[in-house]
Chain A
Amino acid sequence: MRNPFPQMTFASQLIQFLFTGLTLGSIYALVALGFTMIYNATGIINLAQGEFVMLGGLTMVFFTGVLKIPLLIGFLLAVIAVTLVGALFERLAIHPLKNASLITLIMITLAGSILFRGIAMFLWGKDPYALPAFADSKPVQFLGATIQLQIFWVLAITLLVVFGSGFFFNRTLLGKAMTACAFNPLAAQLVGIRVRRMILFSFALSAAFGAIAGAIITPITLMEYDRGPLLTLKGFAAVVLGGLGSGVGSVVAGFIIGVLESLGAGLISSGYKDAIALMVLLLVLWVKPSGLFGSKEASELKKF
């Protein structure tokens, strides 16, 4: 048995690591963006964020795999379904607690994540599920690295979502209203913005982003009921690394963490890969306590 050694030059390996890192980073970025939206509207860290990703993947499996609905429609249905779940969650669990302490609200999102996991386990069991790739095709060869087509789908859709939300928050009235609520709910109310409604939207949108992430990543990585917590952890890390409240920061940080993880695994040690990314996070925070893109004032404002 002969191995045509060497199969890959160092340069091609680097490119491979980069693409893997970007793929993972896309998911973290989408999760982090979802975190940011809720945080901006309410100050809450939604510890059930990873579960939205999981639900997105699994509901899409249900629509396309069980009901045999065509891919695109199944995708849309899955995103809509999970968005509704997010909205329902806000109405039932967050809204009634308007006067509770922040830490209690965060714990409720944690309880929510356990509940979602329990429901997913009940509906889908503990087995993993797969989705076919969005387009059937051979992987692309790029400078010695092999890139599967789905990765381009992941990157493209992520960028679409990111730029879409940037446009939404900066150019549309609704988006600007949501941002206003983040800075000063009282002032926002005075100018006629329905703060309660904005909070509902933030949860719904955040769930949508999570669902999209789940749907696009499942063809590559499969999905099962308890994939959520690790994604929540990494997404949370990305949000903080990027600077709480900064959408741009979350996305950039998400990609940074993904690439760090991949490079860490490939170049240093696969066992310590997560530790490397986290160590970088800690070092950044110790040097710049408000994160890469966060402002000092904004971090002081947000009461914990």
Chain B
Amino acid sequence: MKRKDLYALLGVVLAILLFSWLAGGKEYYLSLLVFVGINSLMTMGLSMLMGYAGQISLGHAAFFGIGAYSSGILTTKYFFHPVGAFMIGIFLSALIAFLVGKPTLRLKGHYMAVATLGFGEILFIVFNELSSLTGGPSGLSGIPPLMIFGHPLEGATYLYLVWAFVILLLVFSLNVINSRVGRALRALHGSELAAGAMGVDASRFKVQVFVLSAIYASTAGSLYAHFITFISPSSFSFMFSILLLMMVVVGGAETIWGALLGTLLLTLLPEYLRGLEDFEVLVYGAILMVVLLFMPQGILEGMRKMLGKNAGGRVGSP
């Protein structure tokens, strides 16, 4: 892993420890950070898909939902152990990502975008309709909290759990990005033709990254289910998929750090706008537009420019 990534990683770990101390047991702040962590898991996967494999997914909330419902249904109705349910969620998401990904990733650009959108929407409808299994629109309640040695994980400990996953997957992602596979992906993004001439099998890698990002999303879903103990299809709609995309782009679609930054900002932004009541949607939309207009490559890149470094280039450039 590059040194600068290592420093940034340490920065994140320290930041988490610092905030959980500052939060002083206030569940409100802790919950916020948990949501940031859960969203980050998903945006990390999306960022790899977009920034490195140049593919887009407008239906990622579906995998989030598969993870959440697997954990939810199996632990409440069939009394599975949460870890078992979690693994099944991962397996299902990976399988579905593979089956859907193979034909879909052959499509180009907007075609693929709509295919993923359609897929996401179909799954949303399925969550709504399979009422006897998922509870339908009324949702699934009573999802048990996670336990370690008989003690339930909540508050600060849940925060650590979620962010442990984030750090873990972050390290994994950074290694992937800087590995042979990662370089191949970046080659793809530049030109599929050239990559092919060099012997890089485009479609295989694309599907692999898609499956990986689905696994990330499923993990996020399972963690979400056990945290909030009640899930309903409305959390897994295409609006949420698009919001995730927005987080990645606003932060900086070219790097994972950008995605994390965007996630942090866009998860916290609504909290700042809390007092505005009827104006909130308007202000939120206006802020997004202004940010994109002034920093079209994302905030991370925009900040780099402001701090006077050489702009451009993705993680991996000196």
Contacts and interface: CB of A to CB of B under 8 A. Distances in A.
The answer to whether A and B interact is yes
A233 B117 contact: yes
Nearest to A98: B296
A236 B41 CA distance: 28
Contacts of B125: 271-272, 274-275
A108 interface: yes
A114 B126 contact: no
B113 interface: yes
Contact of B109 (A107, A110, A302): A302
Nearest to B245: A107
A241 to B, nearest CB: 8
Given A103-B50, A104-B253, 19 more contacts: A97-B293, A99-B296, A108-B292, A112-B285, A114-B281, A115-B285, A115-B289, A117-B285, A118-B281, A236-B114, A237-B117, A237-B118, A272-B125, A279-B118, A281-B118, A282-B118, A282-B122, A286-B104, A300-B108
Chain B interface secondary structure, helix, strand, loop or mixed?
helix
Nearest to A287: B103
Interface in A32-61: 39, 45, 47
Contacts of B285: 111-118
A289 interface: yes
B296 A285 contact: no
Given A103-B249, A233-B117, A289-B107, A279 B122 contact: yes
Interface string A112-151: 1111111101100000000000000000000000000000
Interface string B235-255: 000110010011001100100
Contact of A302 (B110, B119, B278): B110
Contacts of B253: 101, 103-104
B161 interface: no
Contacts of A302: 108-110
Given A45-B110, A274-B121, A96 B293 contact: yes
A295 interface: no
Nearest to B50: A103
12 contacts: A45-B113, A100-B296, A104-B253, A107-B246, A107-B249, A107-B250, A108-B293, A111-B289, A240-B110, A271-B129, A285-B107, A304-B110
B122 A107 contact: no
Given A115-B285, A274-B125, A285-B115, A110 B297 contact: no
B292 A118 contact: no
Nearest to A237: B114
Q: Could you say which of B54, B110, B288 has the most chain A C-beta atoms within 10 Å of its C-beta?
A: B110
Nearest to A290: B111
Contacts of B280: 118
A304 B56 contact: yes
B126 A275 contact: yes
B108 to A, nearest CB: 5
Q: Top 3 A-B pairs ranked by shortest CB distance?
A: A304-B109, A118-B282, A115-B285
B107 A281 contact: no
Contact of B296 (A39, A104, A282): A104
Contact of B114 (A274, A281, A299): A281
Interface in B211-265: 238-239, 242, 245-246, 249-250, 253
Given A111-B288, A118-B281, A244 B110 contact: yes
A113 B284 CA distance: 11
B149 interface: no
B288 to A, nearest CB: 4
Interface string B79-106: 0000000000000000000000001101
A282 B121 CA distance: 11
A157 interface: no
Nearest to A277: B118
A240 B242 contact: no
A240 B292 CA distance: 26
Contact of A112 (B118, B126, B289): B289
B259 to A, nearest CB: 13
A229 interface: yes
Contacts of B54: 304
A291 interface: yes
Interface string A266-304: 000101101100110110011001110000000110111
Contacts of B292: 97, 104, 107-108, 111
A289 B111 contact: yes
Given A115-B282, A233-B121, A240 B289 contact: no
B286 interface: yes
A303 B109 contact: yes
Contacts of B286: 115, 118
B7 interface: no
B242 to A, nearest CB: 6
B283 interface: yes
Interface string B281-305: 1111110110011001100000000
Contacts of B108: 289, 299-300, 302, 304
B56 A118 contact: no
A240 B106 CA distance: 15
